[in-house]
Chains A and B, each alone.
Chain A
């Protein structure tokens, strides 16, 4: 991702489009600790959507345990957390997503990532290390930086469930 020219339009990421994509993939439950990056544009529409049940947790690793239980009970879940919560939950991710190969679908807000800068080039250490960590874990990732990227969400969630493997969506831009 390079710098845009001054004449280029600023890309937009629309929370409602993400919510629609998640629902198209059959997700019924969203497990979340609020993240400033996605709180307004994503969590707010989710909490008012009657087709989604929002389960608020106190810490992010709880979401992994709950998602696993929902999966064994044949329900689809999306985990919505900040990258700091992802880092906090590493052992639960290691166990449930990687070793037990459950279809853990994580939407991770990259709070503080600079616009038009790739995560690996961010000045924020926590943002910069995220993609290499996912690669080491063997977790597929999609960078969601504009509405153009949203179309891939449904397909990726569907694939996660049919192949029983985790997936991470990195929310690079604050959804509106």
Chain B
């Protein structure tokens, strides 16, 4: 349509006016944008710069290498072994199923594992590596490494994992490590962030647990740049952590191995201690278990097998087991009476085989009685009536006080799990525990280590060492940390009269070295190493009068778990005591037959620093002993093979 000039002018005028209005609006918008830009990038710059850095930089912890554990001679007890594993990353693999199928041809992957892998792959972001196989053999590992070009997304990795080369020998003392559980985290008020690293291992029981802070070390860290999905782009900075500190135990791994083998299949415990320093030379509980199973994550089947075993392999019987000490307690009663001046070594009592008290009759183990008994004879022949008599005069409170001085009924602080305090009862204890008055009958029972009295093999060893030295020896398990020896304070004297102690030790010598002594057959022939000790047999059930009338059934005829515990405490050499030993054989029968021979072998092994020579044994036993020792030698571990000695 043709327009007039006027219309054209009018049109242009209108458009110009409107476009100027629009231009104004645009300028205003530009101003708004500019101001906003300034606000974001100038005024809020610092805040956003920080956020950008937070986006970009991640801290990753570098797990520290766990401290090693050695025995007193530098034999490795707990080490870190290289753990070969293979991971797969979904994102890099492309066709994951095909890659996994190819991998299955190289290394064994069970259907179960495959299910877990698939589940993990689905559950995690595509860039997260998933463990396909753990603890591969070197052969399998290198197969994967060599085929890496055909396996996109598959990475062979090397990590560190705890390893216990001595297997069951230290399962109870050293314990084991395992993956950090929720409970581990809850127990700690401020858990070290390193515990949150997946695959990180923490001490679960034993030294591994109680020395965790020493062994763990501190984590290093690296600052890494990550992209939006958290994938690592590069490492910016790295601070190495400090590895955990190495521990040296007081235990001699060879002795430990010898004793563990000597205990064999018995449900038993044996503690050997240096009487002068308190260093624990051996601390064996049998049967043991393979701690490596727990590190790997024990299977349900293995675990229930351990739980259902009536010999309780998981229990550390040396510190955890609390047994009625039986006759091994007699030294305590005697010392209490001697200290009170109520008896002298020459005091005698007549033993008719029982003691009548009120309407109750307390029997001596020997039905016919021991006749006239003095202190030495009461120990060597283990007369019970003698102790019934003197205990009534001394009273339980004095006996308990003496027990405590000798280390019973108190907790010895060692880095081991489930350490039992035992029970050293007195009047107040019974009132508090049972709400009942203490009765003389309780004292009579306690005088021979029955009734309420309970003690662990460790406590009995401490008791023996204190009797042998007259000093308040304190047990020790850690010899050095990172090569720095732990301080070794000299034990305080117990303040007991020398005569009294001498009389007790004399009695213990006679137990072993007189014809009538209960452990004569377990004597040491070598005079310079003469053995002193005390046997004990503790009932795990009450013998009723009716039973007694029928004739007491011999142990052999009882079911295993109803038989008596066999106990033995001793030290050697008699003249110049060096080592104390305790052996407890659960349901082993008599202490002289079941426990004393083990104690002799153990202490001879320590004294000789090797398998004891036959000359140490009485001549008439050598034939049998030779066979036994040879059989034992077969079972010993060659520690020169496994020990990466670092001493």
Q: Is chain B found bound to chain A in the same assembly?
A: no
